[in-house]
Amino acid sequence: MSVKGDVYSYGIFLMETFTRKKPTDDMFVGEMSLKNWVKQSLPKAITEVIDANLLIEEEHFVAKKDCITSILNWALECSADLPGERICMRDVLPALEKIKLKYKKDVEWYYSSYV
């Protein structure tokens, strides 16, 4: 196990968390994998792979969708096929913090514009 292996696993974990699918699900056969399914959905069809429970409430729908899209993009970077193409684990937390701050800013903008 290496740091590059850890970041790969973390990327897959993020995809599992936000899609509620596992790489071993029956829908993933042949060339179709969890990673390919997520990659093909970005950015236009992301709502087809995100766990519907995460987007049930219409409030802040766009902000939530954008946030999860950013996280799934990051997950794909973590799980690049070649270890040398993967991002470093030390870069994960700052990137997720940046995504969180953007989400908060988007929600604050919504409240200042519509409430």
CB atoms within 10 A of CB 38: 24
CATH of 3-114, one of 1.10.1660.10, 1.10.510.10, 1.10.10.10, 3.40.50.300: 1.10.510.10
Average pLDDT by stretches of 10, the chain with 115 residues: 75 96 94 94 90 85 92 95 90 93 89 67
Sign, CA torsion 114/49/23/72: negative
Predicted local distance difference test score (pLDDT) of residue 59: 80
Q: What is the pLDDT of residue 80?
A: 93
Residue 74, pLDDT score: 94
- The domain locations on the chain are 3-114
